[in-house]
Structure 1
């Protein structure tokens, strides 16, 4: 039976791939000669919302497909940019690059975008007018959030009854191959840390659950560069324990943004520099306010960018919430997005124009 399209695009986070995803992939396979799956939220640190790497999600997806279908599926790993226009362009570039590799590249490829308008998070489907949208109904009531919650809510040292219940929930929502992978994943050290962070965030959100409106948090961060290096801290507490971040914190009730920024800098890095020096070193400030930039809740941060020039790197020492403070060469930042907390890598990318950016990667 001939396929009406040359390629069908399916975009998602697949955290993890569930039965609804696989049903949508089947729709795509029915509609096109081949399917390109865009794995979003790639190249970043693990979180309870995005616990799986792009490699793990690719492997789970392919393991759940019949062997004959795998040959018709290609995957692209795609970063989040916290910038919709930039993300859309990166997706287009990645897909166009794959399409151009085909033997019939001279002919205009007939491309479909497979998806479902679930909620506001599905607005991206309208951002690709050159691809014909195949808006299929939602495939059952499966949601990846339910799967993640079940995994994290089950104790690490679960009883047989608790494991049986978890396995029953998994098999209700994900293919058998994915369920088996998830059960084995519970023994991974990454799972243990993510489960602890999940409990911490759950308790954190419950502390303000009775508020009339979800709170919005204001934070400050300092981007300090000197002699081709950037000042980072290693977080000493959850969430993001062990990850790199810009020095910063919450705005204090009686502080200005400027005062909070300098206070957090001194507290977390022990950097002893006068206020006048900071004023002279200030280059710019920017606001980062993407709704999904932090799992703690809606958090708007004000980033102050300082340049201390080309003198000797000042001595720093991690203190307060920071386990360590360190100077990292700017030339190395582009190769370490998975080491950063929240969107701090993207802040650095946006303000320093990193040159080693890897926006997407063809996986297969």
Structure 2
């Protein structure tokens, strides 16, 4: 029996699995409506985020219909990565306000399994609605199984299984498999707990921004700020730079980006792209480079910016 007007469930759902569906069903027992926010909606297709927000909503709706989960009471909306706790939490509150109305009684759905669920404490005044935990089931392992061609586990809803099988016949899946192998190979060359540093340069002039198009298997075809990843143990020599340190910003291992607002040094390939076009296409960028570009432009100056988890 419902006794709450609204519940909010935040996740990446890459892909949705049985525990995610079960959590929404659990929330529907308490709340009249559930808002599912699909995180990392501004991230390019990658081994960490292989599916767009639209694709994840499609899978999730189909999985709910399979189990009679009242999909008409569930609202799906995209939620971009901000790599800034305050801005991200404000986005969540704004989405809830738009869907349920200002001042609505809201419960946040979820259970604290690790540091990634620390966000559950960022919403003072919201109630907490616990989620049923399914031990040993997580989307990271499911992506690994799928990308390496192993049989999908029973915990995968039938509708999701069908979608993944169809997706596996696309060129995007072939590219993701190549990226998976490259990421695993790169990690194998680094010691446990490795942390890297990279230098990047931001040049804007005449309504254009200078970008590099990646050619290797990791992020192939995506834009990035021109620069280089430094060898393990090396840090930039100094100078005024914006620092971007979020532990989840890089695909291979945690990497701190040192971004200089100046001309691109010789030897680093880059070409001008209309700035308005670049800003309008976040999913065309590798990792968090669109976030870096947007935040540095919003500050209007090169300074020390430390992004919080």
Q: 1:292 aligns with which of 248, 259, 283?
A: 248
Q: Compute the displacement of 1:64 (Å).
A: 0.8
Q: Distance in 2 between matches of 1:136 and 1:352?
A: 39
Q: Distance in 1 between matches of 2:241 and 2:207?
A: 19
Which secondary structure state, in structure 1, belongs to the residue aligned with residue 20 of structure 2? helix
| Residues 48 and 197, structure 1, Cα contact 8 Å, conserved in 2 | yes
Q: 1:197 aligns with which of 174, 179, 184?
A: 179
Q: Distance in 1 between matches of 2:97 and 2:167?
A: 35
- The reply to whether residue 91 of structure 1 matches residue 70 of structure 2 is no
Corresponding residue for residue 265 of structure 1: none
Q: 2:283 aligns with which of 329, 332, 338?
A: 338
Which secondary structure state, in structure 2, belongs to the residue aligned with residue 142 of structure 1? coil
Corresponding residue for residue 38 of structure 1: 37
Q: Distance in 2 between matches of 1:92 and 1:225?
A: 33
TM-score (norm 1): 0.76
CA distance change for structure 1 residues 255 and 292 in 2, over 3 Å: closer, same or farther?
closer
- The reply to whether residue 207 of structure 1 matches residue 196 of structure 2 is no
Aligned length: 297
Q: Compute the displacement of 1:255 (Å).
A: 8.4
Which secondary structure state, in structure 1, belongs to the residue aligned with residue 159 of structure 2? helix
CA distance change for structure 1 residues 253 and 25 in 2, over 3 Å: closer, same or farther?
closer
TM-score (norm 2): 0.89
Q: Distance in 2 between matches of 1:202 and 1:302?
A: 24
Over alpha carbons, which structure has the higher Rg?
1
Q: Distance in 1 between matches of 2:275 and 2:49?
A: 26
Which secondary structure state, in structure 2, belongs to the residue aligned with residue 352 of structure 1? helix
- 1:302-313 equivalent positions in 2, closer than 5 A: 302-306=258-262
Gaps of 5+ in 1: 155-164, 260-281, 309-315, 355-364
- 1:5-44 equivalent positions in 2, closer than 5 A: 5-44=4-43
- 1:62-211 equivalent positions in 2, closer than 5 A: 62-66=61-65, 69-100=70-101, 108-154=103-149, 166=151, 169-170=152-153, 172-208=154-190, 211=191
| Residues 236 and 242, structure 1, Cα contact 8 Å, conserved in 2 | yes
Q: Deviations over 1:169-196 (max 9, x none)?
A: 33x1211111111111100111110010
Q: Distance in 1 between matches of 2:196 and 2:34?
A: 41
Which secondary structure state, in structure 1, belongs to the residue aligned with residue 119 of structure 2? helix
Q: Compute the displacement of 1:253 (Å).
A: 8.5
Q: Distance in 1 between matches of 2:235 and 2:197?
A: 11
CA distance change for structure 1 residues 141 and 249 in 2, over 3 Å: closer, same or farther?
same
| Residues 117 and 135, structure 1, Cα contact 8 Å, conserved in 2 | no
Two-structure CA RMSD over aligned residues (Å) = 2.4
Q: Which has the higher strand share?
A: 1
Q: Compute the displacement of 1:28 (Å).
A: 0.8
Which secondary structure state, in structure 2, belongs to the residue aligned with residue 133 of structure 1? strand
Corresponding residue for residue 56 of structure 2: 57
| Residues 197 and 235, structure 2, Cα contact 8 Å, conserved in 1 | no
Q: Compute the displacement of 1:43 (Å).
A: 2.0
